Amino acid sequence: DAGVTQSPTHLIKTRGQQVTLRCSPKSGHDTVSWYQQALGQGPQFIFQYYEEEERQRGNFPDRFSGHQFPNYSSELNVNALLLGDSALYLCASGLGGIGSYEQYFGPGTRLTVT
């Protein structure tokens, strides 16, 4: 049984560019949440997708957007990249929408913005 998978593993982009990160949830899970983890910090909640809709959002600008597909996989898009967007981007999956505190994380995508 595969856990949460993310692609790509690493990514290097230039300021002003756009990036798309991908996530497949653990088998049987129906919610996907995205987190940003800066070096030496804990993960920060970006948003959660459930039933193909954004259900909750953290304090991130509109440059951060996402999508959930019918097979529950998800994408995170970041536009107009800034140097400060360099971080580890984590995807977490769970069950049951906003009621699910039991979240399982993927290995992350390390984004470097130069």
Measured from the CB atom, the residue of 1 and 14 that comes closer to another protein is 1
Among 64, 103, 111, 113, binds another protein (CB under 8 A): 103
Task: Give the DSSP letter string of 31-59.
Answer: EEEEEEE-TTS--EEEEEEETTEEEEE-S
Among 19, 21, 87, 90, binds another protein (CB under 8 A): 90
Nearer CB in complex with another protein: 43/66: 43
x/- mask, another protein, residues 18-47, rule CB under 8 A, reads -------------x-x------xxxxxx--
Of 51, 52, 53, 102, the one binding another protein by CB under 8 A: 102
User: In which residue are the tokens 């690493």 written?
Assistant: 10
Tell me: does residue 107 bind another protein (CB under 8 A). Answer: yes
Instruction: Show the beta-strand stretches assigned E in 1-114.
Output: 5-7, 10-13, 19-24, 31-37, 44-50, 53-57, 64-68, 74-78, 87-94, 104-105, 109-113
Half-sphere exposure of 71 (CA within 13 A, CB side): 7
94 and 33 Cβ atoms separated by less than 8 Å: yes
User: In this complex, which beta carbon is closest to another protein, that of residue 75 or of residue 107?
Assistant: 107
> Which residues contact another protein (rule: CB under 8 A)?
4, 31, 33, 40-45, 48, 56, 58, 90, 92, 94, 97-108, 110
